[in-house]
């Protein structure tokens, strides 16, 4: 079978009259490390642009075999019924709405979805969950889940939930070292979502999985930043499982 075509929801640079290039224009982008990680697994990553007025969004998902929701801006608190506690935590409602529409479309089409960092938070909110708007100031005793200076050099331990998909993918590795680049996190778990892993020792949710009739898995860390780095969890088994599901479901659709 040909390489699975994986749609990646873009990050947004909204129109900015002060920006020296593409002044006043909206830009969409895909982080390079994520693209390379997907390619190393055998996938062909394709960024999914916001559709023009004459394009049905379903035409976008028809051309790809799975969806990745990548990291980036905060999820807007308004999407889970709250006001931002600080102006800088207002997030990106436009991107939220687009990604929730994509998520629902891929689930309805029976195609797998992988969420990364913000992607996990977006999936939790899409299923009715809520977030901590800022772990550092709202969760006493929490680990430093975000350090602007260290960025992807900020690490902590994680414990896999017994019986989870991740525990099956990483047998004998109940404790793992991961990066941590997020200041928001899961507060209330969404409906039909199961916890796959938690930070050690503060218990912050680090991975979730949808228990419905489909394949939706999300992790709070950035697996694409782990590639080739000794001591960090090698997330190749997660990528292989995601792409295996993409191939399997594509074949099922072709032979239906």
Q: Which fold is adopted by the domain 5-255? A: Rossmann fold (3.40.50)
Under 8 Å between Cβ of 41 and 236? yes
Indicate which residue of 31, 206, 224, 245 is catalytic: 224
222 is catalytic: yes
pLDDT tens digits in sequence order for the chain, 256 residues long: 589 999 999 999 999 999 999 999 999 999 999 999 999 999 999 999 998 878 887 788 889 999 999 999 999 999 999 999 999 999 999 999 999 999 999 999 999 999 999 999 999 999 999 999 999 999 999 999 999 999 999 999 999 999 999 999 999 888 999 999 999 999 999 999 999 999 999 999 999 999 999 999 999 999 999 988 999 999 999 999 999 999 998 888 788 7
Tokens 């032979």 belong to which residue?
Answer: 255
In the set 11, 76, 79, 117, the catalytic residue is 117
Q: Is 226 a catalytic residue?
A: no
Yes or no: say if 57 and 49 are a contact pair by the CB < 8 Å rule.
no
Q: Which residues of 223-244 are buried (b: 16+ CB within 10 A; e: fewer)?
A: bbbbbeeeebbbbeebbebbbe
147 C-beta neighbours (distance < 10 Å), count: 15
Domain ranges of the chain: 5-255
Q: Is 176 a catalytic residue?
A: no
Q: pTM of the entire structure? A: 0.96
195, 236 contact by CB (below 8 A)? no
């Amino acid at each position: 079978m040909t390489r699975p075509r994986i749609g990646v929801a873009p990050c947004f640079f909204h129109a900015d009259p002060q920006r020296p290039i593409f002044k006043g224009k909206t830009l969409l982008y895909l982080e390079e490390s994520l693209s390379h990680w997907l390619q190393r697994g055998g996938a062909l990553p394709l960024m999914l642009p916001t559709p023009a007025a004459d394009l049905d969004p379903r035409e976008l998902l028809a051309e790809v075999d799975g969806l990745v929701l990548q990291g980036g801006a905060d999820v807007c608190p308004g999407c889970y019924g709250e006001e931002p506690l600080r102006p800088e935590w207002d997030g990106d409602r436009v991107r939220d709405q687009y990604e929730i529409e994509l998520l629902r479309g891929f689930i309805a089409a029976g195609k797998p979805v992988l969420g990364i960092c913000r992607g996990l938070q977006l999936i939790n909110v899409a299923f009715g969950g809520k977030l901590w708007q800022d772990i550092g100031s709202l969760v006493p005793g929490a680990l430093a889940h975000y350090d602007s200076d260290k960025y992807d050099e900020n690490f902590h331990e994680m414990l896999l939930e017994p019986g989870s998909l991740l525990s099956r993918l990483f047998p004998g590795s109940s404790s793992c070292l991961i990066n941590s680049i997020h200041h928001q996190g899961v507060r209330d778990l969404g409906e039909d979502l199961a916890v796959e892993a938690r930070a050690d020792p503060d218990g912050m949710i680090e991975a979730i999985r949808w228990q419905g009739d489909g394949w939706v898995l999300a992790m709070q860390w950035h697996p694409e930043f782990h590639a080739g780095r000794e001591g960090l969890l090698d997330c190749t088994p997660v990528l292989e499982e995601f792409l295996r599901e993409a191939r399997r479901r594509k074949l099922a659709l072709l032979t239906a």
